[in-house]
Chain A
Amino acid sequence: MALKAARAALLLSLGLCAAATETTAFSVGDKVQSNLVIEGKQIPLPRGEWLVAGASVQEVKLVESGPQGAVRTVILAQILNGKLSALAEINANLIPVENGWGQSGACAKGDQFLLVTRYRSDWDLSCVFVVATALADASGPAAWTQARSVLSKANVVLPETALTAGFRASDRQDVVELRLHFNPALLSGVPSRDASVWTADSVKTRPAQRRAVETLSAWALGVDGWIDRGLGNEAAREPIEGPQRTAILSETPLTDRKLADLEALYNRGAIDVASLGKQEMAALSERPVLTKDAGGLSASVRKAVSYRFFSAAVDYVLAYAVTLGGPVSAGVAASIVTVHSIIFVVNDQLWDGYYAWTAKPDASRVIDFVHIGQTR
């Protein structure tokens, strides 16, 4: 344990000495490293050299709160000994908007191995998911068709299925969706050309596959914050580490960075020891406030039930104070509970609906892009 920790610190220190480069202009065939800048947004990538294999623009399905302009799709490939190590599929908006980028189908509950929504409101979203992606055919955006051609000419062997860590981050102005498709053989140690082993049920019964999913999930949850930061052009100064390297370093790189920054402020005398202690405690438990409650019938019913208990007690006391009769007071309280329950839910629903309508008519709109393995 101590050895692993010491090695972690050493590797981390050494790793940080290599500063990140930032690539803003590139074209197909170029080799780039993290951070890539697409349309004014940093895209943090795992350490190493990436080949720009495909690039295209796709129109976005329009919603009334638009316009969304269009989205740029870039596909990068990391190649190891003639075999595909990983693909990075990036979608980023071309024009900033005013009203956010809505929700994403990939962030809705489905058959993902992992789905975590860091935060979600009407105007921003951050989620991370792990899924299996078919690479066997050319379904997907035009950039993928181009990338397949480039990789084929370079005699790069593609796996049939990739294990994908996906990140969607959006705020009022911008959106970035980064999908990192890893060659599962590198994560599980087991070559796999059979897509069927990467179904949810199959993974549960296969230790190597399960371990690969767990490794990728742990990694994705550790680095998802960097994707958010890239949206605000404050990504890490160094490349993020890949899943295998992260497994021996730190599973909480963001927290470690925050603690280090606090320590640096303290060492410079910018904050005192009391503030340092308080903020270190806060940093250890810091999480985004997850989501805005969408309201709906269940919330109203729960509120109605709690209100009834509270209200019935008050009504009984009032009725007893006036009538001095237990049965009559109980009857009055019971009748009020029944009738008022109906009035309460109707009143609650009407006002919630009204305010939801005035605040944002299409708050839950879904804006999705075409991805590798998908058709629109």
Chain B
Amino acid sequence: MRTARSLAVIGLSLAGASHGAQAQGVTAGQIVTREIVVAGKPTPLPPGEWSVAGVGAGSITTGDSESAYGLIWNVVLMRPTADGRAVDAMIELNVNDLGVSDGWGLPSNCARKDIHLARIRYKSGWDASCFFITHSHWDWRKTATPAWTDAVRHARSRGWTLPQASVTSGLRVANRRDVIDARFHFLPAFHGIAEPQGAAWSQSPWRMTHLAMDERRSGFARTLAAWTELTSGYMEAGLKRRLPATPLPNPGVDAQTPERDSLVKQRLAALERLRKAGRISQANFDEQARMLTENKRSSASSSVDPAAVAASKTITYPPLAAASNLFIDASWVGQPFTAGVLLLLQTAADGVKFYIHEWAWGSLVGGPHQRDDARALDFAHEAVDG
């Protein structure tokens, strides 16, 4: 059996050699527009000519995948300004090469409270879609990954000035097999917003607490939030290798493209087409349109965190147990003082032993078959964003 598998693998290797060379799909120096396909998975790009500045192996910094994913491709793209003197936007992608069977987690940034926006569209142990907006500061003296090292060299060889700060839109889409993690870095200077020199991340005017008082910056952040939500739909479609025909717009422009319509409107239009084609009855259409209008895109589709369930149970159980102990101790011990001491000890121990037991069940007994809690899984990224 083992021999047969070895030979079969050799056969597959020979036949699939050309595929192996194309798995990555991109090479440094390449110019791409509209989309970039990495390891077979397309990611939409805003308009313009994007230069593939660096390609290399990425790494996982938080969490881990115990599956055979081959490697994480780390790809850096840069879009130069029209005069070719600077970079006005950058993209960093992390994409798995081989599909796995056990899913991927969420980035820690999607759970942050100290950044402009963090939204989880859906999450479970096996799939996820989330996005966030924050600001990033860059120190080009040291780089986090080989792709960024190459990217810096690439930019300098072309005489492009690299930014000191950017506003970052981060998106993660994942299913049981694949993950695409994208960070779009936009330079405020090219949106008419001047940046103070040398400000630390925590002192940046883009800091969430400062934004409310800054109309221009908060306006750009709102624009970017709308664009990021739109892009999340593109990214989810890209994960299924069916990007919309309409290109992804730049933030704040192309307001009337069809994809800017809400998903609800698009679904209603699709239902209408089915009705007109006679594929669904009028009654069926009416009922589905009602559901769509009432439920909208809010899918209530995030799994419950087992830790939250355990915590809820832990909060309500001790008072109930303590009340019953009061009667039990009094009836068996008889002496009020001794019974009182025993009650205090039991009450103190109850919560601890209950939580330990719940945790042990969730982690050890239920763990392998009930891992429906969303994990945190981060890749190594360039820039300071927190």
Residues on A close to B: CB < 8 A?
A: 1-2, 4-6, 8-10, 12-13, 15-17, 40, 57, 59, 62, 64-70, 94-95, 98-100, 119, 121-124, 171-174, 228-229, 231-234, 237, 249-250, 252, 255-265, 267-268, 270-271, 275, 279-280, 282-283, 286-293, 303, 306-307, 310-311, 314-315, 318-319, 321-323, 328, 331-332, 335-336, 339-340, 343-344, 347-348, 351-352, 354-355, 358-360
Contact = CB atoms under 8 A, between A and B. Distances in A.
A339 B328 contact: yes
B302 interface: yes
A32 B28 CA distance: 39
Most chain B CB within 10 A, of A172, A228, A255, is at A172
B165 to A, nearest CB: 33
B176 interface: yes
A336 B385 CA distance: 52
Interface stretch (B209-217, B248-256, B274-282): B274-282
B63 to A, nearest CB: 15
A33 B176 CA distance: 28
A232 B68 contact: no
Given A260-B13, A268-B20, A289 B353 contact: no
B3 A95 contact: no
B107 interface: no
Contact of A265 (B97, B304, B342): B97
Given A67-B271, A256-B12, A343-B324, 4 more contacts: A59-B281, A64-B291, A265-B20, A289-B371
Contact of B313 (A257, A351, A359): A351
Nearest to A260: B12
- Residue picked from B14, B20, B302, B353, most chain A C-beta under 10 Å: B20
Contacts of B20: 261, 264-265, 267-268
B8 A173 contact: no
B346 to A, nearest CB: 6
Interface in B1-24: 3-17, 19-21, 23-24
A292 B372 contact: yes
Contacts of A290: 369
Nearest to A359: B304
Contacts of B312: 351, 354-355
A232 B372 CA distance: 21
A351 B354 CA distance: 15
A271 B103 CA distance: 21
Given A234-B40, A288-B102, A12 B15 contact: yes
Interface of B: 3-17, 19-21, 23-24, 40, 57, 66-71, 97-103, 122, 124-127, 175-178, 236, 239-242, 263, 267, 270-271, 274, 279-281, 284, 287-289, 291-292, 295, 297, 299-304, 308-309, 312-313, 316-317, 320-321, 324-325, 328-329, 331-333, 338, 341-342, 345-346, 349, 353-354, 357, 361, 366, 368-372
B26 to A, nearest CB: 13
A59 B40 CA distance: 34
Contacts of A358: 304
B15 A335 contact: no
B287 A62 contact: yes
Nearest to A253: B8
A13 B177 contact: no
Nearest to A303: B361
Contacts of A340: 321, 324
Contacts of B313: 347-348, 351
A237 to B, nearest CB: 7
B43 to A, nearest CB: 15
A13 B175 CA distance: 31
Contacts of B325: 336
29 contacts: A5-B3, A5-B7, A62-B287, A65-B291, A69-B270, A98-B301, A122-B303, A124-B126, A171-B176, A234-B178, A259-B9, A263-B9, A264-B21, A267-B13, A267-B20, A270-B70, A288-B101, A289-B101, A289-B125, A291-B369, A293-B369, A323-B333, A332-B329, A332-B332, A332-B342, A336-B325, A339-B324, A339-B328, A359-B302
Contacts, number: 299
A314 B351 CA distance: 12
B9 A282 contact: no
A230 to B, nearest CB: 11
B292 A67 contact: yes
B67 A67 contact: no
A70 B124 contact: no
Contacts of B21: 264, 268
B288 A62 contact: yes
Interface hub of A250, A354, A358 (most chain B Cβ within 10 A): A250
A95 B342 contact: no
Contacts of B308: 355
A288 B292 CA distance: 32
Contacts of A231: 240
Max chain B Cβ within 10 angstroms of own Cβ: one of A17, A267, A323: A323
A359 to B, nearest CB: 5
B127 to A, nearest CB: 7
When A and B form their complex, which 4 residue pairs have the shortest distance between CB atoms, in order from nearest? A264-B20, A67-B288, A16-B15, A260-B12
B70 A265 contact: yes
Contacts of B122: 123, 172
B332 A270 contact: no
A335 B377 CA distance: 46
Contacts of A291: 369
Contacts of A279: 68-70
Contact of A323 (B263, B338, B370): B338
A259 B9 CA distance: 6
B370 A293 contact: yes
A232 B240 contact: yes
Counting chain B CB atoms within 10 Å of each CB, the highest count among A64, A267, A288 belongs to A288
A95 B274 contact: yes
A271 B70 contact: yes
B317 A347 contact: yes
Contact of B67 (A1, A286, A321): A286
Given A232-B178, A289-B371, A323-B342, A262 B68 contact: yes
A344 B317 contact: yes
A314 B350 CA distance: 9
Given A282-B66, A347-B317, A347-B320, A124 B332 contact: no
Output the residue of B16, B70, B300 with the most chain A CB within 10 A: B70
Contacts of B6: 5
B217 to A, nearest CB: 33
Contacts of B127: 123-124, 171-172
* Interface hub of B23, B299, B338, B361 (most chain A Cβ within 10 A): B299
